[in-house]
Amino acid sequence: MKALELQRVFLRRGDFVLHHIDFALEEGSITALSGRSGAGKSSLIRLIGNALSADAGKILYFGKEMYEAEAKIRRRMSVLYDAPNFNLEMKAGRLAREIRRFEPWFDMEEFHRYMERLELDETRHVKQYSQGMQKKYMLALALCRKPELLVMDEPTSGTDELSRKEMLAMITDYRKERELTVFFSTHNKSDLEDFAGQVLVMENGGLK
């Protein structure tokens, strides 16, 4: 079964168009999305995350569209956007506990281990973290949800080389224990060379 499949996806926002996006990801694969700024990478990630709605075409998650099995799909998928989409005023540990209230499968023990591994203070407000620290924190939250599909928009942007390697190592270690399909956009050539199994290139709203 395909973990993610886009069929003739089309989106228009003002003068910008994403047109006829077709691709499929095998379960367990790692696929990168490359391209210049403004090519449409973030819009495509938001479509997959259901933060935007396509004007035409289908997006299938494990063979189902979002309207067919939204609760199951959201449980099996974690999405990291290019900036935090949660309350930065909260302390890091409290935010994780709030997530667990609504998602009982969120692994708090694993969260504590990740925070120690990344040297992130759970008692600090998330807004006090640097951009790179916020990126690492977002990844920790995403993996603690136990996803089978991980979708990320520029996950290593704003991080130093050590942090970048830490984040990729976390995903690699996770994949040793569980089946995980990864789809991520990046400008970082090292991400493409070190991590991606295949690369899709976006240009002017379409795939080359």
- How far apart, in whole angstroms, are the C-alpha atoms of residue 204 and residue 181? 26
194 pLDDT higher than 90: no
Rg (CA), the chain: 17
- How far apart, in whole angstroms, are the C-alpha atoms of residue 104 and residue 135? 23
CB atoms near residue 15 (< 10 Å): 5
Strand order in the sheet with 181-185: 77-80, 149-153, 181-185, 30-34, 198-203, 206-207
Cα of first residue to Cα of last residue in the chain, in angstroms, is 25
Task: Quote the pLDDT of residue 98.
Answer: 96
The C-alpha angle 200, 84, 145, rounded to 5 degrees, equals 80
What are the pLDDT digits (tens) for 140-174?
999 999 999 999 999 999 899 999 999 999 999 99
Topology of domain 2-85+146-207, per CATH? Rossmann fold (3.40.50)
CB-CB contact of 121 with 94 (8 Å): no
What are the pLDDT digits (tens) for 40-99?
999 999 999 999 999 999 999 999 999 999 999 999 999 999 988 888 999 999 999 999
Q: Which pTM value belongs to this model?
A: 0.95
pLDDT band at 186 (very low <50, low <70, confident <90, very high): very high
